Chain A
């Protein structure tokens, strides 16, 4: 802990988990731990980001993540602007870089960006002067989700290393899966991915995971079951034949869950498709489902990220 405190978070942006070293991850998680307590108190306000401007730039619609970032910024005292660019300016023909230049002229301190294309946030980060947080880019990364998942696991289990985590469902299109694989592997957990061959990216095993197509085998003795959302547009014959067959083979119900460890935790990044990837009785199992806890950790983790990144920014006076 002292190690991570001294080293802090040594990067200008948070674009992905890949490439982060364990001390940086631990630093963010430790910081977030403190914010969990703050958020549970009555006075939830701090002033560490006073005077800072945070712009949430969401090219892809999202309620949970943008709300979570907004709340995080406001609790730290930042001025938060939500830019609803979702396709409007894009449809007017403005390129991503034009948008970046426009924003840059407004002198934001932190830019929180979600974009439907993998790599778009990287591109944007090269063109702006502020810190950039990736709030999800295409099927690439969603680092704050992986951090909040890790925080949830660490608080429940006391540690990340040695945990056997199964990530189940649409791995192919999932940025959540990729960020979690990087984070869990970096922190010494064991990751399995479970899904139909049609929803499994090629050579995923080279990211250091065990690949399973049979969910019953894949869940055997895992500590954590992390379900992914199946996007409706991926169904209906394109990647999987039907909802009922998907649920039959890959839906988490009590019967399949019985193969995991008896105290295995159930996670889901939300929003859930009940009856598609997860059975309601499992999702609402108060003893094992930590899905609501994940949402709570989300705010704390985003506060930690905003805090850590703004610490690395030049002082306001020096910047101008």
Chain B
């Protein structure tokens, strides 16, 4: 399935989504109703829309009483282009994203070559435009070649289309480099996103440091490796006034630091990935390399702290942290196996455990994956269900039970830690720019 080369061909097409449960996390709207799209925009939405019937010439989609929400914005996904197309391409990643209800994919710059030059931003945008079902926007590297030494041309990268800056899975370890990058980034108002893990402390570590690592005989990574980087960075944020974001928080210690920074009204935000609130380090038992992620899965106390932090707003966004790895990278002794979990197709369902088991409303859960990231990245008119916004939609059934069947995953790499786990909540249809890019009935 491919988007038409020229979406303009469908310009002005009217589609009515009837019989829906409308969910708009930005406004808190949660009501039965209908929605109308014109071309790539939402034209109208509300409980009384089409109460007098649908005019002729309007295509009708019956939502069957299911939830119609803004399409998800995933602000942290690795796509292997350029350089690792055998793990994931824009075609395969976007098919997985569409199946997961994701309409905007923010891809990481730790490709080969890294996205550290305006020309590579443009290359990625062109490849994505030609091959992706969903909207793809790249982040650019903070430092040239992700080496953590010299700043990239942030100004030219922003002009080329970079939406934020990060060195991907590498921490910016030098305080001096981080300070300058933060200061320089204030010129453009874009987030600097840190992979918070002190490399000298985490070196050779394969999992969380604790009794499980001791029993398994694996080198551990202490939570301090995460918290101390954030603690340092918070001081640099206070010094520079920059906008700083921690990509994925896994530990209670780190959350305390972020909570304190927010209390001081510093521009500090953070995200987490579904595995940090759905799994703990016990998933690593039996040396399961699919549960080897960075930062590592932590203790049960950390997991509960992550849930608490999502509830109280300390954690701003939930990301897929999609990091596809081929079999050769994972079927290895634990210490040698690559980090990372495929996450695009399971993000929503795992996030919905927060609704089913931890008391968050559907809108509260969705806000972390729609309006939340849209605000952080300055993506106006996305992640909201309102007239004038982009017609990026997701139709889903929050209660539909299913089990992750690895063979049915659309991504090229199948390294999910959620294999065979029962989940509730399934995407039925995904719409990007007013066009259907995924339909469970025909998929």
Write the residues of chain A forming the contact surface with B, with a CB cutoff of 8 angstroms. Answer: 196-198, 213-214, 236-242, 244-245, 248-249
Contacts and interface: CB of A to CB of B under 8 A. Distances in A.
A197 B151 CA distance: 13
Contacts of B150: 236-238, 241
28 contacts: A196-B184, A196-B187, A197-B184, A197-B186, A197-B240, A198-B184, A213-B187, A214-B187, A237-B143, A237-B152, A238-B151, A240-B151, A240-B184, A241-B144, A241-B150, A241-B151, A241-B152, A241-B153, A241-B154, A241-B184, A242-B153, A244-B153, A244-B156, A245-B153, A245-B154, A245-B155, A245-B156, A249-B187
B240 A249 contact: no
Contacts of B151: 237-238, 240-241
B180 A198 contact: yes
B318 to A, nearest CB: 32
Contacts of B144: 237, 241
A237 B149 CA distance: 7
A196 B185 CA distance: 10
Contacts of A237: 143-144, 149-152
Given A197-B187, A213-B187, A249-B187, A238 B155 contact: no
B183 interface: yes
Interface residues of B, number: 16
Contact of A248 (B143, B156, B180, B186): B156
A239 B177 CA distance: 9
Contacts of B187: 196-197, 213-214, 249
A280 to B, nearest CB: 22
A295 to B, nearest CB: 33
Interface in B148-196: 149-156, 180, 183-184, 186-187
Nearest to B159: A248
Output the residue of A196, A236, A241, A244 with the most chain B CB within 10 A.
Answer: A241
Interface in B169-227: 180, 183-184, 186-187
B146 to A, nearest CB: 13
B240 A248 contact: no
A249 B155 CA distance: 8
Contacts of A249: 155, 187
B168 to A, nearest CB: 18
Rank and list the top 5 A-B pairs by shortest CB-CB distance, nearest first: A237-B150, A197-B183, A245-B153, A241-B153, A241-B151
Nearest to A243: B153
A196 B187 CA distance: 7
Contacts of A196: 183-184, 187
A239 B186 CA distance: 14
A119 B143 CA distance: 34
Contacts of B153: 241-242, 244-245
A197 B143 CA distance: 17
Given A241-B150, A241-B151, A248-B155, A198 B183 contact: yes
Interface string B240-260: 100000000000000000000
